[in-house]
Structure 1
């Protein structure tokens, strides 16, 4: 059973309709959710005060309540087997049944307009001030390097707004970042969130294989034959890799911990060697190859 609506508004049972209206105005300004963000107790009290005025602000409802024909929930009281029906299940506090009731005589813009930036949104009725804004969704394409090392990227929404999005280190393809309060504005309540889904773009050098990255690594013939060090591109930048003496094309060398992330663990970078001949013809190399062929060693 709901409380006494007269007590909720702080008025006597013999109060005039004007006194009831003034009491509601005062309490509504004090308890409005925009003035008490995050205060659940104030929000609940605001709803009870609003419902109390919905009952007492309507002269006919008030008379029925005073005569005991309806209870504090706005439900008809049982008056014997020949009387009206029983209570209505699911009734809202103080008889808030979807009709405007006592609010028809109250200019809510006058109560709230000067206090919260120019009035309430049109079509919003009393009791609906805590309506949360809708979430908005967008897709942000990021590079493989951004996903591995983390980055800050800017995204633009269809309404022209832009947001800076922090890409976490080790981000996964399809992962969604939630930016709280960056969605559609609410009606007197908090704004919705922005949900940013990340899509990792294909990479021109690296191919993903689970947490590992694979790549083709061109190696000069001299380094493949004699051994040496060659530069290798990684997601964090270029490093030097040692090529063993006598390496053939197709040999795979591994750089540990230079791959992608899966489940918070980082894989390796696998470099497949591609032995490259000199761009210009080399007479000595040609003679060596001819001698090797003649000896059946080619």
Structure 2
């Protein structure tokens, strides 16, 4: 079965920008991701189709060649004379039959004609199809929130049972696709191998949330530390650190830990970690209850 029109698969028009294509892909890849649709064959096939369509349309050169009719929806070359997308029959012979040596209106093919004809099928003495790049393969990979923040190496198992190590760059986002050059199908007639296209799903974390390169967490502190101040151990993606809690802190107070957010990658700097304090009283002891009964606060705010 031939691949569907990539524009129809992603639900975009031919005039869609590359940003429109990327947004449409991320939305559909998340909707049909195997982790969210276990044992759903329809969703699995749709996920594959979405990845294949994005592979073609996200590559400006491939997209232009598809729009010109030079390659099909699978990225394979279209051979002149076989109708391309939607055409049919032989269109490569400009003058129909040529008169043969014996003459006559219905003369035989000449040797050149036969050579051209067999050459189309890759046989005989005619022109042969040149080397072609192998097909790309699509995979899905789930990574933990901390691996996405700090970077890591994950392993996926291929259909043939072999394993492939995938380097996860720090700061990768949910739905982002990684391309591993040469890890797809083998090329044809000495052509280069295709690529492995890996769609990454980032699992949520119970402690942290993310906005860009910055991370956020809520930290419970006891009443004494909040009132008098003090040192407190704070969990961060790169390990626990000591943080000073200012005296007189209240619930909702936000403190910043520089450089403890999403780790740097390339030209992108490291992010920060923002800690929101939440006062946790717990069960008051007798001394605290006695103090509060005789205490009249100066303000009631």
With the shorter chain as reference, the TM-score category is: 0.5 to 0.7
Please give the per-residue CA displacement for 1:144-172, whole angstroms capped at 9, x wherever unaligned: 22122211111123443321111123333
Q: Which runs of 5+ in 1 are unaligned?
A: 1-74, 85-90, 104-124
In the alignment, structure 1 residue 98 sits paired with structure 2 residue 120? yes
Q: Decide whether aligned partners of structure 1 residues 180 and 207 sit closer, same or farther in structure 2, where only a CA change above 3 A counts.
A: same
CA contact (8 A) 2:229 2:246 kept: yes
Pairing of 1:201-240 with structure 2 (within 5 A): 201-240=203-242
Task: Give the aligned partner of residue 289 of structure 2.
Answer: 286
1:208 aligns to what SS in structure 2?
Answer: strand
1:285 aligns to what SS in structure 2?
Answer: helix
Give the count of matched residue pairs: 196
How far apart are the structure 2 equivalents of 1:187 and 1:254?
55
In the alignment, structure 1 residue 251 sits paired with structure 2 residue 253? yes
How far apart are the structure 1 equivalents of 2:271 and 2:123?
66
Q: Decide whether aligned partners of structure 1 residues 188 and 216 sit closer, same or farther in structure 2, where only a CA change above 3 A counts.
A: same
Match of 1:273 among 271, 277, 283: 277
How far apart are the structure 2 equivalents of 1:152 and 1:134?
25
CA RMSD of aligned residues (A): 3.7
TM superposition score normalised by structure 1: 0.55
Q: Decide whether aligned partners of structure 1 residues 144 and 93 sit closer, same or farther in structure 2, where only a CA change above 3 A counts.
A: farther
How far apart are the structure 1 equivalents of 2:144 and 2:115?
54
2:141 aligns to what SS in structure 1?
Answer: strand
Task: Give the aligned partner of residue 153 of structure 1.
Answer: 154
Q: Which runs of 5+ in 2 are unaligned?
A: 1-96, 107-112
Please give the per-residue CA displacement for 1:208-262, whole angstroms capped at 9, x wherever unaligned: 1233211111111111111101111111111111000111111111112222369
| Larger-gyration structure (1/2) | 1
How far apart are the structure 1 equivalents of 2:157 and 2:197?
13
CA contact (8 A) 1:144 1:235 kept: no
